[in-house]
Amino acid sequence: MNDLDDKALVARCLDGNTAAFEVLVDRYQRVLYNVALRMLHNREDAMDASQTAFVKAYEKLDTYDPNYKFFSWIYKILVNESLNQIAHRKPQEELDSAIMAPGRSPEDEVGEEWVQDRVQAAIVKLPLEYRRLVVLRHFGDLTYRDMAAALDLPEKTVKSRLFTARRMLKDLLNQRGTVRA
């Protein structure tokens, strides 16, 4: 069943074959979890959002329109779920640095991991409407068109916001000395 495409798997799920949904979970759990993690910056919340997204997708599978890609559709559910979680948070919780590598010593403050932490921290500092575009493009590997479908935005808006988001990200990293101006 692993070699079936998403639409064929969805069709099997609708016929009552839950094993087909397991293949979809295997296929998308890593990327969905990472998208949620970059959006929410907290592992437990990312786990909850991913789990809820999968379960809601399963429950609403009969509303899925096969003219669209399955992963754009499930990302849309995930992004909405992540936004719900953020909306229910207290303001100070959003800037949590929980996913940065813990216990970093001054000696570690060089090299690849340090840069990765800085990039992650900068992504979290982006306003949500920009952050979700960077996350979907770079962690979900979505095209402009897929992002437009996932976010219910015109493709043009997606493109211009993504470009603005990258400029903001570059500025944030420049302030922190990670990317040269």
Partner 1 sequence: MIDEKWDVIIQEELDGVATPSDRALLYDRLAQDPEIRAAYENMQRLSAQIREVRLEDPPASLKIAVLNAIGHGAHRPIPAPANRTAWWAGLRDAFVARPIWGGAFVFSTGIAMGLLLFALLGHSPTLDTQGLTGAMTPAERFDRLGQKNIDFNGVHGRMETGLSDQGPCLYLDITSLQPTQITVGFAGNPYAFRGFHQETPANGQVSFDAGELRILHRGENRYLLTEAPAGQNDILVRIQVGEATLEEHLPLVR
Enumerate binding residues for partner 1 (CB under 8 A): 18-19, 21-22, 25-26, 29-34, 37, 43, 47, 50-51, 54-55, 58, 101-103, 105, 112, 115-116, 119-120, 123, 134, 137-139, 143-144, 162-163, 166-167, 169-170, 173, 178-181
For partner 1, which is the closer residue by CB, 21 or 68? 21
For partner 1, which is the closer residue by CB, 95 or 115? 115
152: three-class secondary structure by DSSP: coil
Backbone angles phi, psi at 3, to 5 degrees: -90, 0
> Taking the complex as a whole, how short is the minimal distance between the CB of residue 52 and partner 1, in angstroms?
9
The region, left, alpha or beta by phi > 0 then psi within -120 to 50, assigned to residue 35 is alpha
> Taking the complex as a whole, how short is the minimal distance between the CB of residue 166 and partner 1, in angstroms?
6
Alpha-carbon distance of 158 to 114, in angstroms, equals: 30
For partner 1, which is the closer residue by CB, 22 or 109? 22
Alpha-carbon distance of 158 to 163, in angstroms, equals: 9
For partner 1, which is the closer residue by CB, 76 or 123? 123
> Taking the complex as a whole, how short is the minimal distance between the CB of residue 25 and partner 1, in angstroms?
5
> Taking the complex as a whole, how short is the minimal distance between the CB of residue 116 and partner 1, in angstroms?
5
176: three-class secondary structure by DSSP: coil
Q: Are 1 and 10 in contact (CB under 8 A)?
A: no
> Taking the complex as a whole, how short is the minimal distance between the CB of residue 112 and partner 1, in angstroms?
7
Backbone angles phi, psi at 166, to 5 degrees: -65, -40
For partner 1, which is the closer residue by CB, 91 or 103? 103
Q: In terms of Cα–Cα distance, which of 169, 50, 66 is closest to 119? A: 169
